[in-house]
Copies of this chain bind each other. A is one copy, B any other.
Amino acid sequence: MTMPPEERLGSHLKRAEQELMAAKTAAVRPAGLTVPQYAALLALSGSPGISSAGLARACLVTPQAMTVLLRNLEEAGLVERSPHPWHKGLLEIHLTESGRGALARADGRAVLVERALAEEFSPEERDRLVDMLGRCARVLSTLR
């Protein structure tokens, strides 16, 4: 209507992110994982025993989305949930052995994608890109 797509920064941003998702999806798929599942397992490995809500915050999704995701992971035997020692109603989440294996397999290939992406740029360019992306996120979040 009033603004051509090539002028919309959002179009370019979306396109890049779409390719990123496609590449990562292909990377983690052989491990039997989806990208969100991989992200959750990765966060979980860094914070064992974290709650579902905490994991949701770490992965930048809603608690509801994480509930669904965790149910799938639990049914696949990749994570376990156990009641919190003194806080009734809370659940601690832990990786299973099988979960650790799947994460390791997925991570190896996912890191290759990140490395290929990083190697496209010089260190100065990387810094500039990270800075600009951060500014995008900041200005957009103020609009919300």
Q: A130–B15 contact, CB under 8 A?
A: no
Q: B114–A10 contact, CB under 8 A?
A: yes
| In the assembled complex, A107 has its CB within 8 A of some CB on chain B | yes
The interface on chain A, measured as residues whose beta carbon lies within 8 A of the other chain's beta carbons, has a size of: 51
Interface residues of A in 100-144 (CB under 8 A from B): 103-104, 107-108, 111, 113-114, 116-118, 120-121, 125-126, 128-130, 132-137, 139-141, 143-144
User: Which stretch (A18-26, A47-55, A80-88) binds chain B?
Assistant: A18-26
| In the assembled complex, A71 has its CB within 8 A of some CB on chain B | no
Q: Would you give the shortest CB distance from A126 to chain B, in whole angstroms?
A: 7
Set of chain B residues within 8 Å of A34, measured between Cβ atoms: none
Q: Would you give the shortest CB distance from A36 to chain B, in whole angstroms?
A: 11
Pick the contact of A128 from B7, B24, B114, B128 — CB < 8 Å? B128
Q: Would you give the shortest CB distance from A6 to chain B, in whole angstroms?
A: 8
Closest Cβ neighbor of A119 among chain B residues: B139
Which residues of A are at the interface with B, using a C-beta cutoff of 8 A?
1-3, 7-10, 12-20, 22-24, 26, 42, 45, 60, 103-104, 107-108, 111, 113-114, 116-118, 120-121, 125-126, 128-130, 132-137, 139-141, 143-144
